[in-house]
Structure 1
Amino acid sequence: MSGRVVVTGGSGFIGAYLVKRLVRDGWNVAVVDNLVRGDAARLSDVVDDIELFTSDERDQDALEKAFGGADVVMHLAAVNGTENFYKRPELVLDVGLRGALAVVNAGRASGVPDLVVASSAEVYQTPSVVPTPEDVALMLPDSINPRYSYGGSKIVSELIAFNYAQEHYRQVQVFRPHNVYGPDMGWKHVIPQFITRALKGREEVPAGAVPFQIQGDGSETRAFCYVDDIVDGIVAMYTHGGHREIYHIGNDEMVSIRDLVGRVGRTLGIDLDIQPSEAAAGGTPVRCPDITKMRKLGYRPEVSLDEGLQRTAAWYLENSSATVMNELL
């Protein structure tokens, strides 16, 4: 398939990988991103092949200009990262809620037929079934805890996509990515933090095991999915999926956080001495998607966790200067 596609948040982590894939596939690609949280350098390889609108995703008038003539809008703009959920919940909610409304209304005004909206595994918090299918009840356990600013905003975004917008689009799809990782994903997510902390720890402890503190006891489990596999899933969903459907895009290879630390250490050649600590309030002990629905569309995650960690660690080794790490840690 090809045509004109607009990606909001296209200089973000997943967004940039998606934009480059869509360019390779022959789409006429436009990106809407205010570049406050994203990084234009992620698009340097395709900057001559895209149209960039440096607009805020909450600005409906600007969105209408960008959306003109589009066959599909893929709305990925959001304030992600667990650290942001706790420290900047107002911004997380403002971008999540007002951004979703502005995107849906601008698409409606511009006559865009198809809408794809990125949700999150955070809509489940602690799911009642693992591996988790798409029809499990969504959960907001505690409206006081700022962690749920992100999951709550994604629940509302899904309601906006499927109900507020239902009369105005030919096709509406929502995907829930699960624990995406890869090169150049930023510095506020678990795998980049583990990598940079391990490197910093080796500088401080040149020989022997490096003390490595984690939140909780390390028994928490996740299913991490390499970013290229996530992008493959988005394309497969849009190409083969149905209207008013939700899809889990991820990997069902589960790993404990303790095992993840060990794999990061082995990838870097560093012996990490895990030191448990108090778990963060609102954390989820287990998360793994049931991807049966996506498998029926032909989706198959290809990159193993060990291979993905090697690729990711190589990027951070090349790009993690001592100055950067001192500022972050």
Structure 2
Amino acid sequence: MHPDARIYVAGHGGLVGSAIVRRLQAAGFTNLITRRSRDLDLRDQAAVQAFFQQERPEYVFLAAAKVGGILANSTYPAEFLYDNLMIAANVIHAAHLSGVTKLLNLGSTCIYPREAPQPLREDALLTGPLEETNRAYAIAKIAAIELCDQYRAQYGCDFISAMPTNLYGPGDNFDLLGSHVLPALIRKMVDAQEAGQPTVQVWGSGTPRREFLHVDDLADACLFLMERVSEPGPINVGTGEDLSIRELAERVRAAVGYTGELVFDPSKPDGTPRKVTDVSRIHALGWHHQIGLEEGLRHTVDWYLAHRGHVRGEAAAVSSPA
């Protein structure tokens, strides 16, 4: 991409989109196009097509999505399916109609079957049943990959798809009713430490294993893929390293400085038993992550302490529990 390329970052206010904006700005790209959801509803096909015709972006990072943890996915599966299908269909189709040079579609490793061999390889896609707790979201993300591939096959569009593992970092959602496990643990332990609470409850048995990637590493991978890779199908982005939820909780406790006890609740769902990505493909292309989990946790805890009250989840948790 040339330095003054017109680059649209869809979802720039979210965890991933804001990290991509930071990375692009650091690399010297200044002609960035953004819209808040209140100004452009990506579920509205006519509005999206009008936006693309007006702004004529050359490159698109599709980071907009409705996201959440097990509770949110289980409570609102229809919205997770519909919203994400509409966002992907509208943006990808408008990118084709307006002649976008290249588009990077971002998904999630939840697209892979629940019982797929570990580590998760890209060729495991569509080889078995999905994890029930996030099936609706996963189907929408699979559809987005297929859209990119079919526009490539039929029209020659340079549309690619990246599948990051579990993400965390600055700008995350700390709402206990909608967040993923890592930011939820940070918030719970910060709150408990300050309130002098002797215990913190952790959902599930603590035995599932997960992989975590700092969002700034993902943003770096996105720029790498946009500039250097043109291939169909998903490309995994992760660390290739996992740990149990119990081990994660212990590391968060250390990063926060919480001195109480962790109580695991096995009556709550665990989700997929293990999810770690095979990152040999992106490694072979020349990209590796740089931020270790311990460093990333310290960074994220510090960011949360400095920004709480102004981050997603704080006001919502108080004023709108639903």
TM norm structure 2: 0.87
Q: Deviations over 1:256-300 (max 9, x none)?
A: 111111111111111242222225447111111111111122211
Partner of 1:77: 64
| Letter of the structure 2 residue corresponding to residue 63 of structure 1 | V
Partner of 2:187: 196
Partner of 1:31: 34
Q: Could you tell me how far 1:178 is from its partner in structure 2? A: 0.3
Matched, 1:138 2:141: no
Runs (5+) with no aligned partner, structure 2: none
Runs (5+) with no aligned partner, structure 1: 36-53
Q: Could you tell me how far 1:324 is from its partner in structure 2? A: 3.6
Q: 2:9 aligns with which of 4, 7, 10?
A: 7
* Paired residues of 1:211 and 1:272 also in contact (CA < 8 A): yes
Deviates more, 1:219-228 or 1:156-165: 156-165
Q: Could you tell me how far 1:169 is from its partner in structure 2? A: 4.1
Q: Deviations over 1:239-263 (max 9, x none)?
A: 1212324211111221111111111
Q: Could you tell me how far 1:180 is from its partner in structure 2? A: 0.7
Partner of 1:168: 155
| Letter of the structure 2 residue corresponding to residue 197 of structure 1 | K
| Equivalent position SS for 2:153 | coil
- Return the alpha-carbon distance in structure 2 between the equivalents of residues 245 and 261 of structure 1: 34
* Paired residues of 2:114 and 2:128 also in contact (CA < 8 A): no
Q: Could you tell me how far 1:220 is from its partner in structure 2? A: 1.0
| Equivalent position SS for 1:184 | coil
TM norm structure 1: 0.85
Q: Could you tell me how far 1:18 is from its partner in structure 2? A: 0.3
CA 1:229 to 1:138, structure 2 compared with 1: closer, same or farther past 3 Å? Answer: same
| Equivalent position SS for 1:296 | helix
Q: Percent identity?
A: 27
- Return the alpha-carbon distance in structure 1 between the equivalents of residues 67 and 120 of structure 2: 21
Matched, 1:233 2:221: yes
* Paired residues of 1:7 and 1:15 also in contact (CA < 8 A): yes
Runs ≥4 residues deviating over 4 A: 279-282
Size of the aligned set, in residue pairs, is: 307
* Paired residues of 1:222 and 1:287 also in contact (CA < 8 A): yes
CA 1:133 to 1:292, structure 2 compared with 1: closer, same or farther past 3 Å? Answer: same
Partner of 2:210: 222
- Return the alpha-carbon distance in structure 2 between the equivalents of residues 105 and 170 of structure 1: 10
Matched, 1:96 2:87: no
- Return the alpha-carbon distance in structure 2 between the equivalents of residues 318 and 25 of structure 1: 26
CA RMSD of aligned residues (A): 2.5
- Return the alpha-carbon distance in structure 2 between the equivalents of residues 282 and 55 of structure 1: 36
Higher relative contact order (CA 8 A, sep 6+): 2
| Equivalent position SS for 2:185 | helix
Q: 1:57 aligns with which of 23, 42, 47?
A: 42
- Return the alpha-carbon distance in structure 2 between the equivalents of residues 61 and 183 of structure 1: 33
| Letter of the structure 2 residue corresponding to residue 111 of structure 1 | G
